[in-house]
């Protein structure tokens, strides 16, 4: 049995499933593959949002961004930060005597809400330096005899400030080998276009992943040398999908279905098909260390610990985990485009709250060479991956996809009468989740139900339609939305397996 319960959490930046252990071709990631061979590799792991700060806040709080307040990037100019009252992983683990620390990228705030005891923030891509700092942390843990919770936030494989670079031309420690991937070597994923600019960027992206992979190996070597590996839960994941159009900042699977590997010191290796969410990460950490708040006493966190299914193979996975939810509102401060989604094994439903707005660009994607190639294409009909250009920028209020037959989420079934009952059921289930999580972006008639809830008792009638209709503005002779909705812990989310509902 493990006496000390330690946790090592490693977060990559903008990494999709471009890893050989996830079947990617043309790239080798031996250190991450080795971790996967010793731990549980989750094939259906989902971020709540495909934006860096927001996703990290979900990992650290177990709350979706509309619950924790980290609506977008935590830069000084944007100033999106987590609410002061929210409990976070470092605060909870400090209370149990763990030595908490973070090395590298932090990108959440404010600092008092994330009170890591050891705080070594940097934007370095020198993964050997990061590993040396981790080794020092492990040595200090060995000296004071306390359990630890260490987070390492990698900068790779995020883009750098150039128009196609990924930090591959810096001066790094000699222990870090340079990647040798060339444009002809790469596998172009189907959600992007196979163009010269894309291939050049993907080669640089692969080289950045190559450096990340070495860093993971160096940290795990330091953990082994410290003799702490046998008491440490190791978690490796990414914050959001690749920094290419059709992925990052979207809630399509390319942006939110991500790598997650968890190595338990006493469990066998496995591949799990359980559908899991990043809101499950904090409960898993707390469960592993035996924290009394594994179940949130305030009932705000609805994630579940994964501890029971770590080490369980596909045919032993928790069949109760059959759907996930997601919440995106901002990326950069000018990127307001709130969306919510529900996804089960076969179908995915998106509710786009501000669908009348153009879908916004993240600045690193707008400046990319891959987008430059797409927008200047000579094709008669320009596409982004397999999606029509106009369908990327101008989306309807609802999207429904049959992922079994349309994994790239291209053919929107929301207006298909054959899928009407399914659409209504998924919409209803999503809204129950919005009520349970007190989401102010539950809309009717184009307004927030949450902010207008006080008026229902006084006779307010909100038409039972998603958006305001200027051709029928009246609210008297129309069906009204039921104002007697429950919020928060009063709502029960029913988990169920979804089959074919057509």
Residue for token pair 């705000």: 300
DSSP β-ladder status, 232-238 and 6-12: parallel
- The verdict on whether omega for the bond into residue 157 sits within 30 degrees of 0, i.e. cis, is yes
Q: And the tokens for 62? A: 């177990």
Paired strand residues for 23: none
Q: Strand, helix or coil at 342?
A: strand
Residue for token pair 């908490």: 100
Phi first, then psi: what are they for 301, rounded to 5°?
Answer: -80, 130
Q: Name the region of 163 (left: φ>0; alpha: ψ -120 to 50; beta: rest).
A: alpha
Q: And the tokens for 219? A: 């940290």
Helix, strand, coil % over all residues of the chain, rounded to 5: 30, 15, 50
Kindly calculate the radius of gyration of the chain based on its CA atoms and give it in whole angstroms: 23
Torsion, Cα of 183, 185, 186, 188 (10° steps)? 90
- Catalytic, 21? Answer no
Alpha-carbon dihedral sign for residues 110, 111, 113, 119: positive
Helices (H), 274-419: 281-289, 363-366, 369-375, 389-393
Pick the catalytic residue: 52, 152, 218, 279?
52
Q: And the tokens for 8? A: 């090592």
Euclidean distance between CA atoms 15 and 261, whole angstroms: 13
Q: Which helix (H) or strand (E) holds 233?
A: strand 232-238
**DSSP string spanning 358-385?**
PPPPPHHHHT-HHHHHHHT--SSS-EET
Residue for token pair 């900042």: 249
CB 254 within 8 A of CB 16: yes
Q: And the tokens for 46? A: 């989902």
402's CB contacts (< 8 A; 6+ apart) are: 346, 347, 411, 413
Torsion, Cα of 104, 110, 115, 119 (10° steps)? 20
Euclidean distance between CA atoms 214 and 127, whole angstroms: 7
Euclidean distance between CA atoms 97 and 290, whole angstroms: 12
Query: Which of 282, 291, 288, 290 shows the shortest CA–CA distance to 267?
Result: 288
Please give the positions annotated as active site. Answer: 52
């Amino acid at each position: 049995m493990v006496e000390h319960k330690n946790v090592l959490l490693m977060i990559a930046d903008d990494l999709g499933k471009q890893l050989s252990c996830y079947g990617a071709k043309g790239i080798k990631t031996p250190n991450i593959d080795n971790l996967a061979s010793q731990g549980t590799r989750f094939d259906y792991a989902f971020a709540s949002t495909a934006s860096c700060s927001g996703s990290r806040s979900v990992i650290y709080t177990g709350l979706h961004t509309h619950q924790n307040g980290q609506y977008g990037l935590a830069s000084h100019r944007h100033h999106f930060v987590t609410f002061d009252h929210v409990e976070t992983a470092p605060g909870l683990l400090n209370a149990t005597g763990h030595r908490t620390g973070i090395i590298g990228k932090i990108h959440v705030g404010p600092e008092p809400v994330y009170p890591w005891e050891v705080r070594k923030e940097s934007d370095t891509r020198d993964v050997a330096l990061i590993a040396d700092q981790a080794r020092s942390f492990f040595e200090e843990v060995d000296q004071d005899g306390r359990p630890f919770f260490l987070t390492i936030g990698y900068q790779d494989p995020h883009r750098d400030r150039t128009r196609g670079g990924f930090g591959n031309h810096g001066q790094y420690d000699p222990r870090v080998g340079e990647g040798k991937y060339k444009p002809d070597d790469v596998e172009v994923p189907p959600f992007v276009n196979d163009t010269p600019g894309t291939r050049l960027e993907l080669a640089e992206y692969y080289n950045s992943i190559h450096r990340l992979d070495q860093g993971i190996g160096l940290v795990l070597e330091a953990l082994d040398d410290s003799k702490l590996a046998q008491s440490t839960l190791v978690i490796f994941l990414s914050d959001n999908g690749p920094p290419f159009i059709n992925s990052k900042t979207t809630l399509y699977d390319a942006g939110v279905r991500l790598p997650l590997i968890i190595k338990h010191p006493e469990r066998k290796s496995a591949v799990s098909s359980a559908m899991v969410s990043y809101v499950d990460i904090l409960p898993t950490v707390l469960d592993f260390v035996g924290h009394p708040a594994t179940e949130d006493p305030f009932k705000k966190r609805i994630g579940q610990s994964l501890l029971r299914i770590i080490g369980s193979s596909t045919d032993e996975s928790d069949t109760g985990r059959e759907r996930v939810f997601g919440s995106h509102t901002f990326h950069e401060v000018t990127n307001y485009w709130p969306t919510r989604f529900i996804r089960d094994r076969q179908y995915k439903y998106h509710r786009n709250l501000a669908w009348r707005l153009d879908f916004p660009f993240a600045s690193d994607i707008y400046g990319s060479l891959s987008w430059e190639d797409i927008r200047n294409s000579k094709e008669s009909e320009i596409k982004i991956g397999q999606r029509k250009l106009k369908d990327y920028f101008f989306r309807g209020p609802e999207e429904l996809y049959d992922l079994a037959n349309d994994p790239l989420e291209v053919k929107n079934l929301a207006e298909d009468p054959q899928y009407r009952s399914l659409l209504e059921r998924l919409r209803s289930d999503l809204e129950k989740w919005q009520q349970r999580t007190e989401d102010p972006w539950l809309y009717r008639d184009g307004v927030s139900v949450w902010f207008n809830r006080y008026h229902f008792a006084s006779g307010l009638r909100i038409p039972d339609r998603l958006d305001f209709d200027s051709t029928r503005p009246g609210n008297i002779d129309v069906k009204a939305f039921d104002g007697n909705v429950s919020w928060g812990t009063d709502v029960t989310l029913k988990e169920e397996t979804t089959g074919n509902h057509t």
